Amino acid sequence: MQSWDKLPLEQNPAGATQRQWVGQPGERPADNKTAEAAESCIGDLHDPRRWGLSAEAISTVGERLYEFWLRFRDCFTTRTRDTSANAYNYLRGQLTMDNERNFANMARNMTGDDGQALQHFMSNSPWAGQAVFGQIQAEIKATAALAQGSTLILDESADEKAGTHNAGASRQYNGRMGKVDVCRVDTCLTYANGGRWAMVDGELVLPEEWCGAACAQTRQVLGIPPDRTFETKIALGFKMVKRVKATGVPCDLLACDAL
């Protein structure tokens, strides 16, 4: 797991390093031209100056992203098929597109096709999220600097949905929106140490109404495991904590709010 906070920062003409000045009026550089340039790039998400980075700092980001993906490539291959290129294109789309990141638009921007292959990869291909989490956990354990001072953070994350045809979607509390609405909710377990963090496990919250006989066919169509039963968020979280600790991921503290 790499630390991206080691990238060199923008230097002013006098050679002094500027930290966290973009968008913070109280910490602007003294040089008027530099300050004006900073203000002009506030609206451009792709301008490195917006984030306090030099052009040199991001000159190898593409290559480093590719190297990062290579470490996870085997998580998206089977004995007969290699669909890992779709994983790379999905990652690129999420990181480089400002909005409208649906399958069709991602494919149009990344590969020039209609997005059907990407949608099939995300919806039907037999790759497992637990394999991705396993690789993340392995990299944490292999990094000596992360052996101490680590915290596991248990929280939930909700995404609003247009209808209840998505797995787990129902009228429930959406903490991000601050109201009850149609959404799906996931419990997420995040690892943090200093300025580094990574999600190390996650579980879909399956509402109680989804677990009855009336939804049996829907669960089968959506690929929800037949042995999946209703569990509270805190029960799912406790299961994830035990699962991650069993792999040997270091943890000194566990933090969570109301679930």
Q: What are phi and psi of 136, to 5 degrees?
A: -60, -45
Give the mean pLDDT per block of 10 residues along the chain (259 residues).
38 35 39 54 68 80 88 90 91 86 90 91 87 96 95 94 90 92 95 94 95 92 91 95 96 87
User: The whole model's pTM is what?
Assistant: 0.75
pLDDT digits (tens, 9 = 90+) for 65-76: 899 899 999 999
Tens digit of each residue's pLDDT (9 = 90 or more) over 84-106: 999 999 998 988 888 888 899 99
pLDDT at 56: 79
Between the alpha carbon of residue 30 and those of residues 21, 36, 50, 91, the distances in Å are 11, 11, 17, 38
Q: Are 191 and 249 in contact (CB under 8 A)?
A: yes
Q: Return the pLDDT at 20.
A: 34
pLDDT number for residue 30: 47
For residue 136, the model assigns a pLDDT of 96
Domain boundaries, the chain: 4-58, 61-123, 129-256
The pLDDT assigned to 81 comes to 87
Checking phi first, is residue 168 left (phi over 0); if not, alpha (psi -120 to 50) or beta?
A: left
* Contact between residue 98 and residue 110 where contact means Cβ atoms under 8 Å apart: no
